[in-house]
């Protein structure tokens, strides 16, 4: 693929608009007028085959008639005529174009053929193509509004870049009602050449950008996206994603239980976590997080938050929201409590969240409260909540006074100050905002959105586990994996054992007598299983017999299982393992993102509990231990009700080994699953394995 010059797109020194007509206010007409209205500083050329002028500007019949080759061409004509204009761009040496019209791949076979033609031309000539089927972009610092929809006044240049795969969401965010300041906003459209990953990579190295917001419906180039996200993180840029269309559809990609546990929602969350991307659920939450990150890119090393308000009821609501969004509300230190107590009634002990109204609003008293909090090295953030609407009612005057105090204290304060309005509906108090903006203190709208933003921000301070370096796949192991459909159950067990996953002994038997003899050698009690390459769920098919304690029981079980599997598989003998903790250990191998490793409560109830941790490979022992120590699973492995502790180190070794194997065979399998992996007080053993080849039929 050629390299594309996105500076020509976002920082053009000259622009031609094809489809600007004074007779019809279509996309090209409105875009040209926006470029003029918002003072685009470069050379601007309207293109129309019949008109001699447009809004007083000289109109050119074609791109070839221009006095120079424009850096960027905005094309807004019917799809059928667009390929000819793209060909002309290629002939002239234009390096950036926007195709705003629809009627391409989204409209059917004829449109797909047109899209293919313009894609091939752009690829051949290295043209950075934005679109088609989108509405353009805004470059705030370059005063370039290559965008047809109205916006309220000239864009306020700022540090936030927006990438959206929805044009209507782009129209909403282009209004910048929160006044965060846009460095760039781009509507991606069909992403025929440039896609979200390309824009992310460009903004990751752009000096004007501090925060990157992404509204995503899909990720077309996962490898490029991951590389761009890592580049943004390395450059200190924060990436926030709102991903829509996250459903259970992806869970049907594989039939193993892992598919249900590693559906699209969980997979994307794991990908975003691996690459340091913050995830939000809706647009308001995204905007409030952008405000916070634009002021404070890095979270304070100390996660402790003190919430301060002027109402007991609102303090209780803040406490609930803090718990929901994983904010750490520490108890106030004895020293700070002692400093605060004189400013509260004797019967009221100051506590977090802090109802600071206490003895009523008194400016010197509030300043002493804030001074005491600012001096406390054990606090990471002080968040002040007020009822301060834009109408200047409520606590507006008090909020402004508090903001002015915090502005004075900020430079010497140990914690960081954050302000929020309890409700977003009334807007933000102008005087308060002015004082906070001057001091670089963020002002958030709405308790819920603010607490969600604070929770996401605080997560940045958590140490990130580094991706492990996978060991090279042994050639002999890879060769056996390639022939997986010819391997019987015992051979599959041995394959996983050789890959480093501890597995219980498993032997194939060909007769009743062979089963009885093997059972005696392995030692009772015994498990008998019927299995084969196309048999994924043995329990559901009645192909598992457990706890067989003598040869007669083994013989009878063999006869039953051999009759059920017929020519589809064989019968296998294993010793019973346990008692212990049953886990599911699996990998869902996504064609784009690679293996997602799943660890959770296993056995026959895996899809009932659906309690699992999911991370993207590669996973080393340290990260595996973190997965195993989460939630209820971690408590069980640590020991409970007189049982355990269990060998979490052995389980972590199995997770890391599976991760390594899945990476080395990612092109071969849709899913790999050990269910259960039984973790004992000493050791761990897989007692069932599913290796689902990519593209294999499901049973």
- The b/e string for 143-182 (b: 16+ C-beta within 10 A; e otherwise) is bbbbbbbebeeebeebbbbbbbbbbebbbbbbebebebbb
Give the pLDDT confidence of 151-188 residue by residue, as tens digits. Answer: 988 889 999 999 999 999 999 999 999 999 999 999 99
Average pLDDT over residues 64-79: 97
Q: What is the pLDDT of residues 199-230, one digit of tens each?
A: 999 999 999 999 999 999 999 999 999 999 99
Residue 468 — very low, low, confident or very high, per pLDDT cuts 50/70/90? confident
pLDDT band at 299 (very low <50, low <70, confident <90, very high): confident
- Residue 263 is predicted with a pLDDT of 60
pLDDT of residue 567: 72
Q: What is the 3-state secondary structure (H, E, C) of 314-339?
A: HHHHHHHHHHHCCCECCCCCHHHHHH
| Residue 668 confidence (pLDDT) above 90 | yes
Which pLDDT value is given to residue 696? Answer: 59
Closest C-alpha to 88, from 59, 135, 49, 52: 49
| Rounded Cα gap, residues 548 and 417, in angstroms | 66
Residue with the bigger pLDDT between 245 and 290: it is: 290
Supply the pLDDT for residue 253: 41
| Integer Cα distance of 693 and 384 in angstroms | 55
Lowest mean pLDDT among 13-22, 234-243, 264-273: 264-273
- 200: Cα separation from own chain's centroid: 14
**What pLDDT is recorded for position 695?**
73
Distance CA 34, CA 40 (A): 9
Residues in the chain: 699
Torsion of CA 217, 221, 224, 225, to 10 degrees: 10
User: How high is the mean pLDDT of the chain?
Assistant: 92
Identify whether the C-beta of residue 201 lies closer than 8 Å to the C-beta of residue 228: yes
What average pLDDT does the segment 617-645 reach? 91
Cα angle value 4/8/9 (rounded, 5°): 85
Query: What's residue 255's pLDDT?
Result: 42
Structural domains of the chain, with CATH = 6-244 (3.40.50.720), 300-433 (3.40.50.261)
Check whether 242 has a pLDDT greater than 60.
yes
CB-based burial of residue 377 (10 Å sphere; 0-12 exposed, 13-18 middle, 19+ buried)? exposed
Eight-class DSSP state of 86: H
Contact residues for 419 (Cβ-Cβ < 8 A; gap 6+): 383, 384, 385, 386, 399, 402, 403, 406, 432, 436, 441, 442, 443, 444
Distance (Å, whole) CA 478 – CA 481: 5
Q: What is the pLDDT of residues 82-118, one digit of tens each?
A: 999 999 999 999 999 999 989 999 999 999 999 999 9
The answer to whether residues 327 and 454 touch, using CB atoms and an 8 Å cutoff, is: yes
Three-state secondary structure string covering 186-255: EECCCCCCCCHHHHHHHHHCCCCCCEEEEEECCCCCHHHHHHHHHHHHHCCCEEEEEECCCCHHHHHHCC
> What pLDDT does residue 260 have?
47
Q: Which residue has the higher pLDDT, 474 or 350?
A: 350
What pTM did the predictor assign? Answer: 0.89
């Amino acid at each position: 693929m050629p390299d594309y010059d996105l500076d020509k797109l976002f920082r053009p020194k000259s622009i031609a608009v094809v489809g600007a007509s004074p007779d019809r206010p279509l996309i090209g007409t409105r875009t040209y007028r926006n470029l003029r209205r918002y003072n685009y500083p470069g050379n601007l050329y309207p293109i129309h085959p019949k008109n001699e002028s447009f809004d007083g500007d000289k109109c050119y019949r074609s791109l070839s008639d221009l006095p120079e080759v424009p850096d960027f061409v905005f094309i807004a004509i019917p799809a059928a005529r667009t390929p000819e204009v793209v060909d002309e761009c290629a002939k002239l040496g234009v390096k950036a174009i926007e195709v705003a019209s629809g009627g391409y791949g989204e409209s059917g076979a004829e449109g797909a053929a047109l899209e293919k033609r313009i894609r091939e031309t752009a690829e051949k000539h290295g043209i950075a193509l934005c679109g088609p089927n989108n509405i353009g972009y805004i470059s705030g610092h370059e005063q370039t509004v290559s965008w047809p929809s109205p916006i309220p006044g000239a864009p306020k240049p700022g540090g936030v870049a927006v990438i959206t795969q929805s044009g209507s969401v782009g129209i909403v965010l282009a209004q910048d009602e929160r006044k965060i300041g846009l460095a760039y906003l781009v509507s991606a459209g069909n992403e025929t050449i440039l896609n979200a990953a390309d824009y992310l990579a460009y903004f990751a190295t752009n000096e004007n950008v501090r925060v990157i917001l992404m509204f995503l419906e899909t990720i077309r180039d996962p490898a490029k996206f991951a590389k761009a996200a890592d580049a943004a993180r390395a450059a200190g840029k924060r990436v926030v994603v709102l991903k829509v269309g996250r459903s259970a559809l992806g869970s049907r990609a594989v039939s193993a239980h892992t598919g249900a546990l590693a559906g699209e929602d969980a997979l994307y969350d794991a990908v975003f976590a691996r690459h340091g991307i913050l995830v939000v659920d809706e647009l308001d939450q995204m905007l409030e997080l952008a405000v916070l990150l634009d002021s404070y890119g890095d979270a304070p090393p100390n996660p402790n938050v003190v919430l301060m308000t002027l109402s007991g009821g609102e303090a209780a609501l803040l406490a609930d929201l803090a718990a929901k969004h994983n904010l750490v509300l520490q108890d106030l230190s004895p020293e700070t409590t002692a400093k605060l107590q004189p400013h509260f009634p004797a019967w009221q002990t100051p506590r977090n969240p802090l109802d600071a109204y206490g003895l009523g609003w008194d400016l010197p008293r509030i300043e002493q409260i804030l001074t005491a909090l600012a001096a406390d090295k054990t606090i990471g953030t002080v968040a002040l909540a007020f009822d301060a609407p834009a109408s200047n009612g409520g606590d507006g005057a008090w909020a402004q006074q508090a903001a002015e105090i915090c502005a004075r204290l900020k430079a010497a304060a140990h914690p960081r100050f954050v302000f929020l309005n309890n409700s977003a509906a009334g807007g933000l108090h102008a005087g308060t905002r002015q004082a906070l903006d001057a001091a670089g203190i963020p002002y958030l709208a709405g308790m819920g959105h603010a607490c969600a933003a604070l929770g996401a921000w605080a997560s940045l301070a958590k140490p990130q586990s580094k991706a492990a370096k996978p060991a090279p796949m042994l050639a002999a192991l890879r060769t056996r994996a390639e022939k997986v459909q010819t391997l019987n159950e015992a051979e599959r067990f041995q394959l996983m054992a050789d890959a480093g996953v501890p597995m219980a002994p498993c032997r194939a038997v060909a007769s009743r007598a062979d089963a009885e003899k093997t059972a005696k050698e392995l030692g009772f009690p015994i498990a008998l299983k019927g299995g084969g390459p196309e048999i994924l769920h043995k329990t559901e098919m009645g192909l598992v017999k457990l706890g067989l304690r003598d040869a007669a029981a083994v013989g009878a079980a063999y006869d039953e299982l051999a009759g059920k599997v017929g020519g589809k598989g064989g019968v296998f003998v294993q010793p019973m393992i346990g008692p212990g903790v049953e886990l599911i250990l699996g990998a869902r191998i996504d064609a784009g993102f690679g293996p997602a490793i799943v660890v959770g409560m296993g056995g026959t109830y895996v899809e009932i509990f659906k309690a699992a941790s999911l991370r993207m490979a590669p996973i080393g022992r340290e990260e595996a231990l973190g997965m195993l120590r989460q939630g209820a699973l971690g408590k069980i492995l640590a020991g409970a009700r007189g049982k355990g502790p269990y060998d979490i180190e052995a389980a972590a070794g199995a997770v890391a080994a599976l991760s390594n194997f899945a990476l080395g065979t990612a092109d071969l399998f849709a899913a790999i699953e050990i269910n259960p992996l039984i973790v004992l007080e000493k050791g761990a053993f897989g007692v069932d394995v599913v290796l689902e080849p990519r593209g294999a039929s499901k049973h």
